[in-house]
Amino acid sequence: MMKLKIAFVCTGNSCRSQIAEGWAKYLGNDVFEVYSAGTHPSEKVNQNAINVMKEAGVDISCHYPKTFDDIPYEIDVLITMGCGVVCPFVPNKYEEDWGLPDPVGHPIEEFRRIRDIIKDKVLDLFAKAKNKEIL
C-alpha cells in the first residue's frame, strides 16, 4: 500500500501538531508519510510536550517547529488542531479539524490529556485509512 502524506498543522507547531506527528510516526509509519507545520512557528517544541511524549515512550526531542514551506505542496490528509486561525491553502484529498484546546500555560496534566486524545485520534485515522474510508 502506498503511504498517504499527512500533515498536522496548528499555529506554533510547538505542541499539539508535534505530539500528533510523534504519534503518527510511532504508531503508523507503515500507513502515513508524516509532516507537521505551523502558521507562525515557535522557536522550539514545548518542553512539556516533549516530556509527556517521553512518558508514553515516544521521543520527539529532535523535532523542531516548521513552516508550510517545509511540507509538500499537496497532502493527502490535512489535520488542523482547532487553532481558530486561517491556514494557508494546502491542496488535500481529506481534511479534519480536531478542535483541541492548546495546553500551553496549563498544568502538565492537561498536556497528558491532550496527548492521549491525540493518540486516539491518530489511531482512528489509521483505521480509516486501512478501511479505505480516507480517499
What are the grid coordinates assigned to 77, written together?
490528509
The domains found in the chain, sorted by start residue, are 4-130 (3.40.50.2300)
3-class DSSP state of 114 = helix
**DSSP character string of 30-80:** TTEEEEEEESS--SS--HHHHHHHHHTT---TT-----GGGS-SSEEEEEE
Among 87, 100, 129, 134, the active-site one is 87
Residue-level pLDDT at 76: 94
Task: Give this prediction's pTM.
Answer: 0.94
Tell me how far apart the alpha carbons of residues 110 and 37 are, in angstroms, rounded to a whole number.
22
Residue-level pLDDT at 85: 62
Residue-level pLDDT at 86: 63
Among 81, 83, 122, 134, the active-site one is 83
For range 2-20, the mean pLDDT = 93
For range 1-19, the mean pLDDT = 91
3-class DSSP state of 7 = strand
Tell me how far apart the alpha carbons of residues 97 and 83 are, in angstroms, rounded to a whole number.
9
Among 7, 10, 114, 118, the active-site one is 10
pLDDT tens digits, one per residue of 53-112: 999 999 999 999 999 999 998 999 999 998 766 666 788 999 999 999 999 999 999 999
Residue 83 known to be catalytic: yes
